[in-house]
């Protein structure tokens, strides 16, 4: 199958801002998002033939579609040291971290290799548009869009993931074998996390436009059948409770800086003479307990701001360049009335009640109502165009723009 090299690139549409959550979607195999979340999400796999109908329609018309991003473009992107990339070779298994020079990547027809590129939504508008299709799932759960391009026989071996993933076939064919086996032990003798005993239960060959959804801990193995095989993986992260609570507690501790009452020093005028000087004094224990009780640190609402801030942090590899943004605050407001401002593709936005968190920071507390309105629109609709009212000296929108977090 080499005809697809001469195909027309697929141009994915941007999803509407108001997604029809109770109507059937081809993307979800005729399920509505509500039905999908109830029956499949985090529960069982779903194979969808023709998840992107455009591929089959174009094929019938004799004008087959290829991936929205060419192999040549992917190779160029892999040379960028700001991109998280990996090269995996099978027979024997080996892997290398990027960046990669084009001459170091085998030809598309060479067998048993795979190039993985993370965070592609920040590198190409087509990838960002694909992510817009999945906004019926909370933004807090989104990880990124990874692209795998491989030669025949390429793959990463039988493995499992700790997150939900949608595997969209974009170019060439890939054979997926899956298993709901309980034995998830890994082979300690290999450089990759490959299952020691993989027992195939189901097998499918996915064509361009097909999609496979897998919940966490489903063993799977994807093998490229054609040169230049591309699979786009939309992954949804799931942190451990330990990680979430640790981050929430750390930010909660930071918030104590804003309570002047806690600047007072411990005093123990009621302390009596003791014959057990080595013991932590009961007076200290009593007073600290009283402070904790008054702060209500055991209530979930006190943890949530820190958790929301943590979950809104960008990926560690995210890079923002605000150096090209040389507008004054007044010019920024004028441009905002003319052009739509959007979050940078690597910017994360989350809402908790009336607060909006951007890249780990609360950007609405202490801000004017017009600025808060813009932030809420950016979080909900991923863009804003219009007036935000008068210019304020303390303007988190302009600060975010200068940092490269927002772009026109």
DSSP notation for 127-173: HHHHHHTTTTS-GGGEEEEEEEEE-TT----SB--SSEEEEEEEES-
Taking alpha carbons only, the member of 320, 314, 342 closest to residue 408 is 342
Cα separation, 25 vs 20, whole angstroms: 9
Cβ-in-10-Å burial (0-12, 13-18, 19+) of 330 comes to exposed
Q: Bridge-partner residues for 407, per DSSP?
A: 342
Token representation of residue 139: 């933004």
pLDDT of res. 2: 42
pLDDT of res. 141: 96
Q: How many CB atoms lie within 10 A of CB 293?
A: 10
- Please report, in tens digits, the pLDDT of each residue of the chain (408 residues total): 344 445 799 999 999 989 999 999 999 999 999 999 999 999 999 999 999 999 999 999 999 999 999 999 999 999 999 999 999 999 999 999 999 999 999 999 999 999 999 999 999 999 999 999 999 999 999 999 999 999 999 999 999 999 999 999 999 999 999 999 999 999 999 999 999 999 999 999 999 999 999 999 999 999 999 999 999 999 999 899 999 999 988 888 888 888 888 889 999 998 999 999 999 999 999 998 888 888 877 778 888 999 999 999 998 888 888 877 788 888 888 899 899 999 999 999 999 999 999 999 999 999 999 999 999 999 999 999 988 777 777 899 999 999 999 999
Phi, psi of 143 (to 5 degrees): -100, -80
pLDDT of res. 233: 98
Cβ-in-10-Å burial (0-12, 13-18, 19+) of 183 comes to exposed
Q: Bridge-partner residues for 114, per DSSP?
A: 88, 150
Cβ-contact 347, 406 below 8 angstroms = yes
Cα separation, 10 vs 54, whole angstroms: 8
Cα separation, 59 vs 62, whole angstroms: 5
CA 353 to chain centre: 22
pLDDT of res. 118: 97
pLDDT of res. 253: 87
Q: 351 in helix, strand or coil?
A: strand
pLDDT of res. 4: 43
Taking alpha carbons only, the member of 339, 322, 355, 327 closest to residue 387 is 339
């Amino acid at each position: 199958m080499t005809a697809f090299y001469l195909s027309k690139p697929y141009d994915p549409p941007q999803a509407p801002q108001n997604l029809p959550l109770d109507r059937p979607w081809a993307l979800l195999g005729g399920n509505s998002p509500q039905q999908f979340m109830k029956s499949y999400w985090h529960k069982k796999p779903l194979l969808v033939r023709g998840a992107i109908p455009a591929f089959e329609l174009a094929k019938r018309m004799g004008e087959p579609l290829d991936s929205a991003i060419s192999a040549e473009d992917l190779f160029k992107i892999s040379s960028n040291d700001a991109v998280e990339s990996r090269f995996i070779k099978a027979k024997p298994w080996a892997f290398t971290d990027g960046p990669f020079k084009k001459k170091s990547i085998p030809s598309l027809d060479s067998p048993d290799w795979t190039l993985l590129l993370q965070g592609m939504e920040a590198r190409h508008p087509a990838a960002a548009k694909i992510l817009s299709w999945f906004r019926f799932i909370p933004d807090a759960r989104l990880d990124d869009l990874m692209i795998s391009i491989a030669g025949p026989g390429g793959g990463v071996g039988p493995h499992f993931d700790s997150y939900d993933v949608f595997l969209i076939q974009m170019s060439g064919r890939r054979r997926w074998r899956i298993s709901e086996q309980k034995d998830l032990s890994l082979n300690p003798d290999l450089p990759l996390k490959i299952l020691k005993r993989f027992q195939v239960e189901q097998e499918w060959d996915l064509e361009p436009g097909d999609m496979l959804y897998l919940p966490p801990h489903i063993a799977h193995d994807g093998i490229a059948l054609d040169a230049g095989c591309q699979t786009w993986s939309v992954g949804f992260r799931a942190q451990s409770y330990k990680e979430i609570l640790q981050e929430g507690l750390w930010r909660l501790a930071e918030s104590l800086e804003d309570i002047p009452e806690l600047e007072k020093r411990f005093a123990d005028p009621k302390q009596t003479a003791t014959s057990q000087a080595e013991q932590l004094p009961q007076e200290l224990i009593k007073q600290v307990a009283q402070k904790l009780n008054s702060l209500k640190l055991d209530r979930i609402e006190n943890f949530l701001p820190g958790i929301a801030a943590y979950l809104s942090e960008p990926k560690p590899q995210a890079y923002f360049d605000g150096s090209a943004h040389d507008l004054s605050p007044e010019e920024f407001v004028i441009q905002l009335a003319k052009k739509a401002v959007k979050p940078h593709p690597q910017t994360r936005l989350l809402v908790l009640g009336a607060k909006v968190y951007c890249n780990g920071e609360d950007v609405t507390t202490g801000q004017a109502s017009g600025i808060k309105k813009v932030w809420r629109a950016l979080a909900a609709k991923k863009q804003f165009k219009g007036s935000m009212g008068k210019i304020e000296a303390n303007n988190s929108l302009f600060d975010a723009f200068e940092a490269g977090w927002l772009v026109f």
